Structure 1
Amino acid sequence: MTMSLPQPVFDANASGGSGLGRLPEWDLRDLYAAEDAPEVTRDLDWLDVACAEFAADYEGKLAGLDAAAMLACVTRYEQIDVIAGRLMSFAGLRYYQNTMDSGRAKFMADVQDRITNATTPLVFFSLEFNRLDETHLAGLLAADAGLARYKPVFDRMRAMRPHQLSDELERFLHDESVVGASAWNKLFDETMAGLTFTVAGEDEDLNLESTLNLLTDTDRAKREAAARALAAVFDKNIKLFARVHNTLAKEKEIHDRWRKMPSPQHGRHLSNHVEPEVVEALRNAVVAAYPKLSHRYYRLKAKWMGLDTLQVWDRNAPLPTEAPRSVGWDEARETVMQAYAGFDPRMAEIAQPFFDKGWIDAGVKPGKAPGAFAHPTVTTVHPYVMLNYLGKPRDVMTLAHELGHGVHQVLAAGQGELLSSTPLTLAETASVFGEMLTFRKLLDAAKTPAERKTLLAGKVEDMINTVVRQIAFYDFECKLHAARAEGELTPDDINALWMSVQAQSLGDAFDFMDGYETFWAYIPHFVHSPFYVYAYAFGDGLVNALYAAYASGLEGFEDKYFDMLKAGGSKHHKELLAPFGLDLSDPAFWDKGLEMIAGFIDELEAMEG
């Protein structure tokens, strides 16, 4: 069990500009009124006392507790988790609103230090709990239904038993964490947020988000200028990014070696509560499908664009037939809410407060973290969604995606702090399903073949980005960590690993410009959450199978779906998916999801005829 920390699993009214309307901004007062609010001091002080008292009451005594006393112990631990999570959520969300504000950065660092120091006495808990005899624990769970509720949490904790270090070493690692990975994460975030890009033809220097956004511009010259500006700045900073990756991969290798992890990926699989062979089956199915998915689609796209080969700046280009349009905030909101309500009115009801109560921060602002995320904060408050909304049609899908996370987090909150968190493999289910509902609504409303083609092509590109691109990212990480185990990697070494997976996954339709080899540098997941990326492909494949069950009229689908989201992390994926007749351990399962993408490409090819 660990304290909650906000992570972009990279997530006054701001004006959107360009006719987007007034974009919502976070109201963080549901967490704390301000950084100097007396409640912040009160909760930090409470945490110091509560953690010390918890250790005094329970350290060295867990084996002697009866079921009722063990339940009281777990409940006290959960309350500490809520307060620590609330503090870190407030500090983290304020920081992500403006990572260039040194006051916000200091406040987050100070809160993190206080929490790390306060919670150090708790390190004994999971270590001592994992030493409990299996038969004894089974007896406790049998004796108290309230305690038995937490069995999934205990199972996840005890999965770490073979990899546990001595109590003293675990305490050391806990204390040292603030100058380890989290410090390198902060350096990466602050460096990225501070980068500016001089793009030919633009009046002023742009930040990362705005420069990446130009890669979807209708003007090919603008796209090329953006790609070259990205390459120039990444190259200038490549030594720093290589240092970040070298250090984090080495730190992970040291920790994994001491913990006797069989592979760099194993810790992620354990925390996801998913079997390595299930992930391997997903990875192999996607790689085998590259030729019929990405390779085939990009050849089709080159033909539409009148090009012999595509350049990297054409990968996310709009189609020549696509009329450029900007989607205002009100239209985006209406589109997503109607799609949600069309599936089940309950879903729209849960989503409504995000728009009305300051739970979304949508505008692009200087210093704001790039990307988008939904952060659950703690189960006693509510989630917050971060977007960088620029009015692109894809931004509507991002809203549908993050709002799906938000709905999932609201529903799962009923499980309480320790059971609400969904393993990453299922954490993308509601978000991708929300996107699919929105896409199907738009597709059904298409008035012309050209409009249908644009929508289908956009969805195929999103699915390729979610499935093919993320599995290529996963392969890149696997290669990076394996190579780092053999020694220090130069920037050229890392560049070569990146290009090997890019060429394999994108196919022969692409010619890769000089400089593209450094584009690994800006992907935050490699830094924040090693091996997280397969969760996106996992979520897409799973949702394609779920949507097929929904479309085929599976009886009671909506209720089953809500029950699955409400379960949070309280059930294993086998149990969660059984009501839908789905089994992830079946190797053929992933092929079904990939067939849906191939089917869309079939339809696009048929339109050519």
Structure 2
Amino acid sequence: MTTDITAMLWDTDPLYHAHAPELEADLASGAAETKAFRVAYLGKVASLDAAGLLEALRRYEALTELLVKPQLYAHLLFAADAGNDEHKKLSQRTAEFGNLMGRELLFFDLEIMEIPDGGFAEIVADGGLAGYRHYLESVRKFKPHTLTEREEQLLKLKNLTGAEAFTRLFDELSASFRYRMELDGEEREFTGEELLGLLHHPDATVRERAFAIFLRRHEEEGIALGAIFNTVALDHGQELELRSYRHPMEPTNLGNEIPEEVVNRLMDVSEANYGLARDYFRLKARLLGLPKLKNTDVYAPAGETDRHYTFEEARDLVLEAYGAFQPRFRDICAAFFAERRIDVLPRPGKGGGAFCMGMTPSLSPYVLLNFTGNLRDVATLAHELGHGLHFVLAQKQTMLNYHAPLPLAETASVFGEMLLTRFLLERESDPQVKIALLCAKIEDIIATTFRQNVLTRFEERMHKERKEGLLTSSRLCDLWWEENGKLYGDAVEMIEPYRWGWSYISHFIHARFYCYSYTFAELLVLSLYRKYLEDGETFIPTYVGILESGGSLSPADTVKPAGIDLADPHFWQKGYDFLAELIEELKGLVAKQ
């Protein structure tokens, strides 16, 4: 594989060549097909027999794939360079196109909801519709909260100048931020991802200064960021009222097919185990020779303190880890590099964080990284390739069943990180390296369980308080400080600029209550991984089946073959028991020093 800079950029030409007429043709064809579909089925769906409904669903799937391709392509261009005017225009144009087509197609789901219960039961009993039963039932769950077609169209139309517009503003504003900091005797410009990467720097003063500069830059835009968060929360609150939902998380829980009591239990059990995190933080302070951690020290390197990974090293380690579990997994992941479907390095204008974009059953997924070379970045590569693996395996499903339900969306990514950690631990003999690896894994579990629980509690309070009136930026800072304080307790001192830590969390803007899915997935994966350790290779077909199912089943039915019962009141505690075992394993290594 080549290692020049071109190999570090993703290649979107397999979707469309730049300025190719195919994109314009797809937009025109999508509009024409949408009109034809509406003419063919408007007012007729509820009266279709099983064969007719099957034909309509297949036609709807093909249309959905046609419509989404230009939008996904434009999003990739915008994510890679939000400062490019052409990318901005294309992203906005395809978003408006998607919104318009979506308004024209709203009737289809609405009419599925109107099929009488008796008639629906008879229709879905037909064998030809077996593959669509879960999708149809998922649509019908929202009937009590759905408005008329005209009202739904108006809400979707207003989204362009409402929540979606503020989401776009947040993305462009965040991507425009520039930061200057002195490092190693030289002052230079950093991206936000590079500054956050310095939280892994061995020098405590560098870590604190980098995070403070990052947060202060967000504070400088406090008026804009406060307005964005308030508007998104207000928009959500108004929609809750229009649709007769009882509380802010209800639409997410309904869409996730996770009962409210299960989500509450997940969060309650997480909070009951905050002491595990504080136990680890105190141990980490001893490892670093500090009387007490600051929150800028949580990800400081312990054990081996100066290891830097090239991207080629990270690639090879991750591929080996996946290959040791299942050779086919290695081949699937290797294709991302060979086909240049990964955008690697941070740069001005590029979106922050990392993501894997699942496309459609016929289009290959893409990965965006902001790789800076620390161990956490290697784990992030394993994480995002886990998503990619999930999307590829789910391509045996059709479009309406392609995307896994949100609570399972992080399953393969978190499992991939666990595979990487154990692979690295097994090949290392140096106790200092083992300590560093265990610390990194424990910190990752804390970040994807306890921290995500903190984020969810903050988001919940934000939405509830916004219902009572405008939330000042100062109040948002207070809510953030209070919820983080419940996790850190007296084990970690938060630096003052961290009051603004809420302002850069994109999940609060992009998706309501996404964050508890990380907690869900992490604890689920710890159970799956423990089962793998118990069953060995006989577990692998069960795991592959979970990933291949995509969104064709509910979360509970998807994981049932692995012997997991999400309704078990003790299920979530088992994941935290596994975390406790890892902390004890770390204590054993530390004691031998």
TM-score by length of 1: 0.94
The answer to whether residue 487 in structure 2 is matched with residue 479 in structure 1 is: no
**Counterparts of 1:23 and 1:208, CA distance in 2:** 23
Whether the 8 Å contact between 1:44 and 1:115 is mirrored in structure 2 is no
Whether the 8 Å contact between 1:14 and 1:363 is mirrored in structure 2 is no
Correspondence 1:50-129 to 2 at 5 A: 50-129=33-112
Task: Assess, with a 3 A threshold, how the Cα gap between structure 1 residues 347 and 555 changes in structure 2: closer, same or farther.
Answer: closer
User: How many Å apart are 1:324 and its aligned residue?
Assistant: 0.8
The answer to whether residue 491 in structure 2 is matched with residue 509 in structure 1 is: yes
**Counterparts of 2:521 and 2:284, CA distance in 1:** 26
Correspondence 1:274-293 to 2 at 5 A: 274-291=258-275, 293=276
**Counterparts of 1:550 and 1:210, CA distance in 2:** 36
Which amino acid counterpart does residue 264 of structure 1 have in structure 2? P
SS of 1:29 mapped into structure 2: coil
The partner residue of 2:159 within 171, 177, 180 is 177
Whether the 8 Å contact between 1:216 and 1:316 is mirrored in structure 2 is yes
**Counterparts of 1:591 and 1:205, CA distance in 2:** 45
The answer to whether residue 235 in structure 2 is matched with residue 251 in structure 1 is: yes
Equivalence for 1:560: 542
Equivalence for 2:207: 223
SS of 1:150 mapped into structure 2: helix
Identify the range of structure 1 (269-278 vs 201-210) with the bigger mean alpha-carbon deviation.
Answer: 201-210
Equivalence for 2:557: 575
Whether the 8 Å contact between 1:200 and 1:225 is mirrored in structure 2 is no
Whether the 8 Å contact between 2:191 and 2:346 is mirrored in structure 1 is no
Whether the 8 Å contact between 1:30 and 1:381 is mirrored in structure 2 is no
**Counterparts of 2:549 and 2:278, CA distance in 1:** 38
The partner residue of 1:299 within 263, 276, 282 is 282
User: How many Å apart are 1:96 and its aligned residue?
Assistant: 0.4
The answer to whether residue 588 in structure 2 is matched with residue 606 in structure 1 is: yes
Task: Assess, with a 3 A threshold, how the Cα gap between structure 1 residues 555 and 97 changes in structure 2: closer, same or farther.
Answer: closer
Which amino acid counterpart does residue 483 of structure 1 have in structure 2? E
User: How many Å apart are 1:416 and its aligned residue?
Assistant: 1.1
Whether the 8 Å contact between 2:181 and 2:190 is mirrored in structure 1 is yes
**Counterparts of 1:349 and 1:470, CA distance in 2:** 32
Equivalence for 2:423: 441
**Counterparts of 2:44 and 2:538, CA distance in 1:** 47
Which amino acid counterpart does residue 428 of structure 2 have in structure 1? A
Q: Could you say which structure has the greater relative contact order, defined with CA pairs below 8 angstroms and 6 or more residues apart?
A: 1
**Counterparts of 1:94 and 1:199, CA distance in 2:** 29
User: How many Å apart are 1:14 and its aligned residue?
Assistant: 8.0
**Counterparts of 1:570 and 1:533, CA distance in 2:** 23
Instruction: Tell me which stretches of 4 or more aligned residues in structure 1 moved more than 4 Å.
Output: 13-16
Which amino acid counterpart does residue 124 of structure 2 have in structure 1? L
The partner residue of 1:373 within 355, 366, 385 is 355
Please tell me the root mean square deviation across aligned C-alpha atoms, in Å.
1.6
**Counterparts of 2:316 and 2:498, CA distance in 1:** 38
SS of 2:43 mapped into structure 1: coil
Equivalence for 2:136: 154
The partner residue of 2:566 within 569, 584, 589 is 584
* Structure 2: unaligned runs, 5 residues or longer: none
Q: Percent identity?
A: 36
Which amino acid counterpart does residue 287 of structure 1 have in structure 2? E
TM-score by length of 2: 0.97
The partner residue of 1:240 within 205, 213, 224 is 224
Task: Assess, with a 3 A threshold, how the Cα gap between structure 1 residues 23 and 307 changes in structure 2: closer, same or farther.
Answer: farther
**Counterparts of 2:240 and 2:583, CA distance in 1:** 42
* Structure 1: unaligned runs, 5 residues or longer: 1-12, 17-21
User: How many Å apart are 1:183 and its aligned residue?
Assistant: 0.8
SS of 2:496 mapped into structure 1: coil
User: How many Å apart are 1:124 and its aligned residue?
Assistant: 1.1
**Counterparts of 1:192 and 1:161, CA distance in 2:** 37
The partner residue of 2:304 within 284, 306, 322 is 322
**Counterparts of 2:459 and 2:270, CA distance in 1:** 16
Which amino acid counterpart does residue 98 of structure 1 have in structure 2? D
SS of 1:313 mapped into structure 2: coil
Which amino acid counterpart does residue 48 of structure 1 have in structure 2? A
Which amino acid counterpart does residue 204 of structure 2 have in structure 1? R
Task: Assess, with a 3 A threshold, how the Cα gap between structure 1 residues 421 and 572 changes in structure 2: closer, same or farther.
Answer: same
User: How many Å apart are 1:359 and its aligned residue?
Assistant: 1.2
The partner residue of 1:463 within 424, 445, 450 is 445
